[in-house]
Structure 1
Amino acid sequence: MSSVNQSITRVIGLISGTSVDGIDAALVEIIGTDFDLKIELVARATYPYPAQLRERILAVCAGDAISMAELAQIDDAIALAFAQAAQDIQIGQQPATLIGSHGQTVYHRPPHPSLGYSLQLGRGALIAHQTGITTISNFRVADIAVGGHGAPLVPRVDAFLLSHPQAGRCIQNIGGIGNVAYIPPRHGEWLSKIRGWDTGPGNSLLDLAVEHLSAGAKTYDQDGKWAASGTPCLNLVAQWLNQDYFHLPPPKSTGRELFGVSYLQQCLQDAEPHQLSPADFLATLTELTAASIAHSYRLFLPEMPQQVLLCGGGSRNLYLKQRLQFLLSSIPVLTTDEAGLNADFKEAIAFAVLAYWRQMNLPGNLPAATGAFEEIPLGEVHPAYQAT
């Protein structure tokens, strides 16, 4: 498809992932459509949630019962935080004309046996009202309405930004939950051969474990140093890999509903007979993340990739990256930085692109990744409020 619009559009992409560690904001310049898509990252930053808001979000994600009034308050608070992030990222820059906001996922139910359900807080209408910028949000519902999981949503973006003419690539995001996009070499019917799914836990269990083991003094294991000082219990990892989700064929999706506080408590209980030190336990959970990724590639890919490109917060966990490289043997494990796309902000960039495509009425999903019946534009459009 040739470009029908060669003017530059400035778009802000916003997302807070399942780790709930803050709002990633990316200001990008976009040109082209899909096959000739080009982007330039102009500015990026992560804006932490206020501590009290983060605690409330995590409580909701963990299943705490709240009133509708409290839900509305949290929805508003998240939207205002996202709006502030959009305003801050533009300081000293030419303004954006479009915002793509993923919002904050607080609940996700895969589509079995009925339609799926996914709830992202941080309503787009309020962001548009606060910023004066047209905002596209609620990206998952359109895919879910046509039978999809509403996840993962980034494989189509990955396809047009990170495909290679000769090499098959796995683009592996490691946020709170891990997800993969398998991109075959870019020739022939390559687009129809793309696959994607949620691989399982990413940082979610690790962060919960660090907070538990440090009695709240730490919220994450920087660079994986604590885990690297321990020794993984491989028998325990093998036991955990028997969990049904890891053997469920794609398309599939998951979240904190499965890999959350209750799952961590079960892991702690399973570990008791092995008398693991805190470092050993963290090393074992890290091994589960790495092993679940490698395991899913071997079970579900049509062929192993020539490269793995990591992105998301877990791409900075050096011990996790080292363990994944060991498990994948000779397949190079790199980051998307090495392919020219910022690894820390790739997901925020992706939602900027999805908003751009929505404005052009182009599809944003890939049915082979989400399980939807058809390709469809994603996102609800909230025009900027114009005072009279």
Structure 2
Amino acid sequence: MTYVIGLISGTSVDGIDAALVDISGTDLDLKIELLAGETYPYPAELRERILAVCAGKAISMAELAELDDAIAIAFAQAAQNIQNGHKPASLIGSHGQTVYHRPPEGEGGKGRGGEGETRGIDNSPLLYGRGSPAPLGYSLQLGRGAVIAHLTGITTISNFRAADIAAGGQGAPLVPRVDAYLLSHPQEGRCIQNIGGIGNVAYIPPRRDNWLEKILGWDTGPGNSLLDLAVHHLTAGAKTYDENGDWAASGTPCHPLVEQWLNQDYFHLPPPKSTGRELFGVAYLHQCLKDAEIYQLSSADLLATLTELTAASIVHNYRTFLPQMPEQVFLCGGGSRNLYLKHRLQILLQSIPVLTTDEVGLSADFKEAIAFAVLAYWRNLGIPGNLPTATGASQEVLLGEICLGTKD
């Protein structure tokens, strides 16, 4: 048994999810026990700085270095706090804070231009030289593992996405392999749907006959990102999210608007694919607000319509790209607590039960943090952490860079 801390702050930038996990086994015999889970909010000023960078604010290299250090310090403090009252951990797996994500160009990437020309999200040409291959993806997570290891004294594994991207993958989602070993079922196909700022799915077929090779995973589109941004906009910053989805539940979705939004290119790109606030961020919300003007929606109706987009885009992804619909869907992440969103998913999925991972013994709130504890544990054992069927990488690879702690 090994005590491992998993740390992650997702695209909602709500704070740092920390999980202290007791892990044993390897893969098929993997066992975990969540000893402690806590979310440590960012200081308001640090959160605003992160959100500004995610929204494309230009900063100097000195400011970037300072932000990187501030995030690392906050992650180290979370790691120290989560151990209070428990035996010290021997390993930390830190995903860090994503501030920029660019998938690889080409099939499954966010931008595809015409013949002989590679184009970005905004359809502008990306110049890489005549005859040069399409570039690898790029993903930047702040909160250096070396700083966390130095401050905590605990060996820290971080920068998990880099090796998958170097192998031609999206670098995301990285959790499906963990989901496979913790949440698969011998007879039932399952979708594990994480709803953070961005939604992502792991499709896990019944655990038989080369099942691991049939697992799929990709980012489905917006999760809470547009909802949180809309609440912030509608309340002039007084609120940052719609608790339980109560405000949205008091409104009525505008279905013609949802159908219009579902025409967005990303929803129709085949997996593997990944996305982030670079697409479903402030500029996207402003376009949604402009589109909604002719319908004269109330604030509640607007939130209901944005919630419907999240639900409908998830179901569209399932029906379009899965080999077959699952027997069950299990939600996790902050969006799993949005009761109205969960209700709309259940309506759209009809007879397929929509549950949370809590109901099969894995914390819906801290599943992503648990997953990065497992990925760090695997990296330490020399076990690959990615699934090429989910990320599009050319091969399985070891994920994460190791920074030794002073206690080792």
TM range (shorter): over 0.9
- Which structure 2 residues correspond to residues 228-377 of structure 1 after superposition, within 5 A? 228-377=249-398
Counterpart of 1:125 in structure 2 is 146
Counterpart of 1:66 in structure 2 is 59
Q: Deviations over 1:233-289 (max 9, x none)?
A: 000000000000000000000000000000000000000000000000000000000
- Amino acid in structure 1 at the alignment position of 2:8: I
Counterpart of 1:51 in structure 2 is 44
- Amino acid in structure 1 at the alignment position of 2:304: A
Picking from 169, 191, 202, the partner of 1:181 is 202
Counterpart of 1:5 in structure 2 is none
TM superposition shift of 1:114: 1.5
User: Separation in 2 of the partners of 1:79 and 1:216?
Assistant: 26
User: Separation in 2 of the partners of 1:51 and 1:214?
Assistant: 17
Counterpart of 2:21 in structure 1 is 28
- Which structure 2 residues correspond to residues 46-125 of structure 1 after superposition, within 5 A? 46-112=39-105, 113-125=134-146
1:71 is paired with a residue whose SS is helix
- Which structure 2 residues correspond to residues 148-227 of structure 1 after superposition, within 5 A? 148-227=169-248
Q: Deviations over 1:55-85 (max 9, x none)?
A: 0000000000000000000000000000000
User: Separation in 2 of the partners of 1:222 and 1:111?
Assistant: 35
1:47 is paired with a residue whose SS is strand
How many residues are paired up? Answer: 380
- Mapped contact 2:154–2:407 kept (Cα < 8 A): no
1:33 is paired with a residue whose SS is coil
Q: Deviations over 1:31-52 (max 9, x none)?
A: 0000100000000100000000
Indicate the percent of aligned positions where both proteins have the same amino acid: 80
Q: Deviations over 1:119-174 (max 9, x none)?
A: 00000000000000000000000000000000000000000000001100000000
User: Structure 1-normalised TM-score?
Assistant: 0.97
Gaps of 5+ in 2: 106-133
User: Separation in 1 of the partners of 2:44 and 2:335?
Assistant: 22
Gaps of 5+ in 1: 1-7
2:291 is paired with a residue whose SS is helix
- Amino acid in structure 2 at the alignment position of 1:11: V
Report the RMSD for the aligned CA atoms in angstroms.
0.7
Q: Deviations over 1:188-221 (max 9, x none)?
A: 1100000000000000100000000011110000
Could you list the runs of 4 or more consecutive aligned residues of structure 1 that deviate by over 3 angstroms after TM superposition?
none
User: Separation in 2 of the partners of 1:142 and 1:295?
Assistant: 30
User: Separation in 2 of the partners of 1:201 and 1:210?
Assistant: 15
2:330 is paired with a residue whose SS is strand
